[in-house]
Amino acid sequence: QVQLQQWGAGLLRPSETLSLTCNMSGGSFSGYFWSWIRQPPGKGLEWIGEISHSGFTNSNPSLKSRLTISIDTSKRQFSLRLNSVTAADTAIYYCARAAVMVRGLTPTPGWFAPWGQGTLVTVSS
C-alpha cells in the first residue's frame, strides 16, 4: 500500500522559505494528485495545493503567489516551497495523495488518503 514519509525544516524566521519533501512508496504516481495540507496548532485543515505526475499543479488562491510545488518521479518525491513566511504560516504540514475529480475544464482534488505523518513548522523571530 502507498506510504508517505515527509521531512523538512521545522523552525523558520519570518521572511524565510518553507521547504518540505514527501517520499512516496508502494504505489504509482499516475492517476492521482499529490497534495499538501496544513493545520495550525489546535485548528482545522487547509488545503494548500497539489501536483500530478506530469507536473500539472493546482494551488489554493490564498497561497498561490508564494507557493511552488514540484515533483521528481525518479526519486519518488514531491516537494513544497512557501516563501516569505510569517507567524500565520505556523502549522503542521501534511502531504497526502488525492483522488482526481474531473468536472470542469481542469481536474481538481477529491478526497485525501493516505496522509504523511506531518511536520510541525514554526515561524518565529
Partner 1 sequence: DIVMTQSPDSLPVSLGERATINCKSSQSVLSSSDNKNFLSWYQQRPGQPPKLLIYWASTRESGVPERFSASGSETDFTLTISSLQAEDVAVYYCQQYYSFPCTFGQGTRLEIK
Neighbours of 116 (CB within 10 A): 21
Residue with smaller CB distance to partner 1, 85 or 98: 98
DSSP string of 27-51, one letter each residue: S-STTSEEEEEEE-TTS--EEEEEE
Cell of 90: 505556523
27 binds partner 1 (CB under 8 A): no
115 binds partner 1 (CB under 8 A): yes
79 binds partner 1 (CB under 8 A): no
Residue 93: CB minimum distance to partner 1, A: 11
Distance from C-alpha of 42 to C-alpha of 25, rounded to nearest angstrom: 29
Residue with smaller CB distance to partner 1, 16 or 99: 99
Residues 6, 77 contacting (CB under 8 angstroms)? no
Which residues contact partner 1 (rule: CB under 8 A)? 44-47, 58, 60-61, 94, 96, 99, 101, 103, 108-118
